[in-house]
Every structure is written in C-alpha cells, then in structure tokens.
C-alpha cells in the first residue's frame, strides 16, 4: 500500500479543494524539485564553466543532475541526455538533423494515433523527398499491431516513430518488441514517452531504443523536456547549434538551456529512491529501488483505474475509447470516453461544478480523434490519474460523473 499521506506531502499543489484528474495535461511538481530550483537561483545563478566559486558550484550541480537522470533512465553516459523546452521542439530538432542526412526515397514510419509531437515533425520530411508511411491503429483492438508494422518495413525504412503509451487511449505499447522488429530492418526508433514516464520505469538499455523523448511537466517537474539518444548516433548527426559546437549534448541545445531546471530535476530520481525507502525497501542497488517504487505505483494506479472503469463500464450510454480493461499490463490510468449523442465539453463543465478537474478534446492526438469520427462531439472526455491520487478522490469523480452524465 502506498503511503499516500507522505506522497501527497511532497506535492504542495495538491493542497486545494479541487480533485486534480488532468495529470496527463500536467502533473503537480514535487517539492524537492522546486527547492532545488530555488537553491540554484539563490546560490549559483551564473554561467557554467567559469573559474570563480559560484560558477564552479553551478557546473558541479549541472553535472550531478545529469548523472542522476542518466542512472534513472539507465543511460550509459550523461552526454546522451539532451535538454529542451518541449518534446515537440526536441523531436523537430532531431527530425531536422535527419532531413540533412537521409536520401530521396528513404522511408519514415509514423502512426495515426500518437500525439502530434512525434508525428508532425517526421511527416513534414515528406516535403523533402522522403516517403512517409502510416502505421494505423487497429480499430478493433484499439492497439498498434506488430504485424501491421512488419508489413510496412523495408530495407529503405530509416525511422519508426511511435509512442510508449497513448495520451488518449491509455494503452501501453511493447516498446522493446517494436524496437527489435524495426532494428531487424536496420531502422532506428524514436519513442514518445510523455504519457508513459509518470507511471512506469524506463530502461533505455534494455529496450534498446535509439531516441526517447518525454516532458518533465507531466512527470512531476517543471515545463521542460528531455531527449535520450544513443551516443554514437548523436555523434554522427550534424547537430543544431553554432558551427564550432560539435559535441553532444550541446550540439543539439542552441543557446543557453535552463540551468535552474536542470539542477532541480536532479531531485526527481531521488524522489523515487526515497519513495522505495519510505516503504521499507533499503536494500539492493538504485535500479532495484527504482523498480520497487514503480511496482508500488503500478499497483496503486491499477486499482484506481479499476474503480473508475468499473463505473464507466456499467453504464450503457458510455463508450470507452481504448481498452475497458484496468490491468496494469495493458494500460496506464489515463481513461478516455464519450457519452452517446453528447458533447464532451458539456460533461467537463458539469464536473467543474463539483470541483473535479477532468478535460475534453483531442489532446494533440488530432489524427486519432479524426479517424475515430469523434470531432463533432468535441473529442473525448479524459480522466488522467497518477500515483498521488486517492480512492476517495476517485469516489468524488464518480459522484461528479453521476451528476454530469
């Protein structure tokens, strides 16, 4: 059982009379992260790599944060971590690099169901002579199928872009399996993990992903993002910075990136380690502690999902968009639905009256909502929970839905 009193004490933004179930749009920030950000502002708010004490301290904090974040992802080298303002921008920087090295007729595979961040930038390369292929969601299983990917792959495929978890459907994709399949054809993978990272531990070495992007503001941090890339690939790409900057990560980080956020984010892996220790797990390696903490999160979120999905599944006027199953093997607690013949926006305005924050719309998975024919009713209603949410809050949600529906 998660010690929710302790957990919620780490998120001051939860001190409100609102139930916050819009976490896939932006989670609350952990207090230790904010404390570190403030620490940087007050004691080392200077440029890096100088000889004077404040700059030396800033550099040490920067390097320490990168080491901690690399261990969290199980990356081999902190140089493999590229910071940026958003996942959308980082993918565009990456796509622009490939624009300069791909050849006419090379192929890029994208899905029709992901957030536009990992679709639009790659699709735009179709304007430069590269062939864009669409990997479509199976409308019966509401999943991406490996057999459909295999039918698209050829020896000209250079990039396969897909998501680890859908920000609308909530469904988990088998990242390791999809990556292995793409690699058989010599293709690289770019994985959008924005909707995955708040809920599951990632191991970039085990999954063997080539590029991996996510946003911290949906993973208990500030409005910032990170891209992991294998070091040999980053070295080989042309870069996106001044001509004399040739080493990663700086060659992909034009201008000064956010030093204060970087220092603050060093506290994020520590939060998960502390979570394990607070629940009595004090043995083993850091990796073991991460694994234990995420196992607690996974179980708690599965039970939250079950409570909400049991209610929705018992209503004949509701259609779950995605799997109706609450199993943690299948989904994260991001749950979307529509009510027959009802505008989705109307429902969220009603739950607002009960101070329950959920959301309506396409959530930048515009192509998915269009292909499912849900535009006319303003997309879906989305409930998105994380580990700091409680069963009591789920009850308040259900009461608000009873009123709204």
For the chain, which domains are there? 4-30+287-400 (3.90.1150.10), 33-269 (3.40.640.10)
Angle at which helices 267-278 and 31-43 cross, to 10°:
140
With contact defined as beta carbons under 8 Å apart, do 342 and 336 qualify? no
pLDDT digits (tens, 9 = 90+) for 99-149: 999 999 999 999 999 999 999 999 999 999 999 999 999 999 999 999 999
Nearest to 120 by CA among 142, 90, 147, 75: 90
**With pLDDT > 70 as the criterion, what percentage of the chain qualifies?**
100
Q: How confident is the model at residue 11 (pLDDT cuts 50, 70, 90)?
A: very high
Residue with tokens 């079950």: 306
| pLDDT of residue 233 exceeding 90 | yes
User: What b/e readout covers 167-193, taking b as 16+ CB neighbours within 10 angstroms?
Assistant: bbbbbbbebeebbebbeebebbbbbbb
Mean pLDDT over residues 147-153, rounded? 98
With contact defined as beta carbons under 8 Å apart, do 269 and 226 qualify? no
Report how far apart the first and last C-alpha atoms of the chain are (Å, whole number): 32
Q: How confident is the model at residue 88 (pLDDT cuts 50, 70, 90)?
A: very high
Q: What are phi and psi of 184, to 5 degrees?
A: -60, -30
> Cis peptide before 249, with omega less than 30 degrees from 0?
yes
pTM here is: 0.96
Mean per-residue pLDDT of the chain: 97
User: How high is the pLDDT of residue 283?
Assistant: 87
Q: How confident is the model at residue 1 (pLDDT cuts 50, 70, 90)?
A: confident
With contact defined as beta carbons under 8 Å apart, do 322 and 331 qualify? yes
């Amino acid at each position: 059982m998660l010690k929710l009193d302790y957990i919620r004490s780490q998120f001051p933004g939860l001190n409100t009379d609102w139930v916050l179930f819009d976490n896939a749009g932006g989670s609350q920030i952990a207090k230790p992260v904010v404390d570190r950000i403030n620490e940087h502002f007050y004691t080392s708010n200077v440029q890096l790599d100088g000889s004077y004490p404040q700059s030396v301290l800033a550099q040490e904090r920067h390097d320490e944060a990168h080491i901690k974040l690399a261990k969290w992802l199980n990356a081999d080298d902190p140089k493999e971590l590229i910071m940026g303002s958003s996942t959308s921008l980082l993918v565009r920087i990456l796509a622009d690099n490939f624009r300069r090295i791909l050849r006419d007729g090379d192929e890029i595979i994208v899905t029709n169901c992901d957030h536009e961040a990992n679709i639009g930038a790659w699709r735009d390369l179709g304007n430069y002579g590269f062939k864009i292929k669409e990997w479509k969601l199976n409308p019966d299983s509401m999943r991406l199928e490996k057999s459909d990917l295999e039918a698209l792959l050829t020896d000209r495929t250079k990039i396969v872009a897909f998501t680890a978890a859908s920000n609308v459907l909530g469904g988990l994709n088998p990242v390791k399996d999809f990556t292995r399949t793409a690699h058989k054809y010599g293709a690289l993978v770019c994985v959008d993990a924005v909707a995955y990272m708040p809920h599951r531990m990632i191991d970039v070495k085990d999954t063997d992903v080539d590029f991996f992007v996510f946003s911290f503001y949906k993973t208990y941090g500030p409005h910032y993002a990170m891209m992991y890339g294998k070091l040999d690939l980053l070295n080989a790409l042309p870069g996106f910075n001044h001509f004399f900057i040739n080493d990663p990560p700086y060659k992909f980080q034009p201008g000064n990136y956010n030093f204060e956020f970087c220092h603050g984010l060093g506290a994020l892996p520590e939060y998960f380690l502390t979570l394990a220790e607070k629940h009595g797990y004090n043995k083993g390696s850091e990796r073991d502690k991460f694994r234990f903490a995420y196992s607690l999160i996974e179980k708690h979120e599965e039970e939250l999902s079950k409570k909400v999905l049991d209610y929705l599944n018992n209503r004949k006027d509701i259609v779950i968009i995605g799997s109706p199953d609450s199993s943690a093997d299948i989904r994260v607690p991001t749950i979307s639905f529509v009510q027959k013949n009802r505008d989705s926006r109307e429902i969220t305005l009603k739950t607002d009256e009960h101070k329950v924050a959920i959301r309506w719309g396409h959530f930048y998975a515009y192509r998915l909502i269009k292909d499912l024919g849900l535009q006319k009713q303003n997309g879906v209603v989305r409930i998105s929970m994380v580990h700091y949410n409680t069963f009591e809050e789920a009850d308040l949600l259900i009461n608000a839905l009873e009123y709204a529906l």
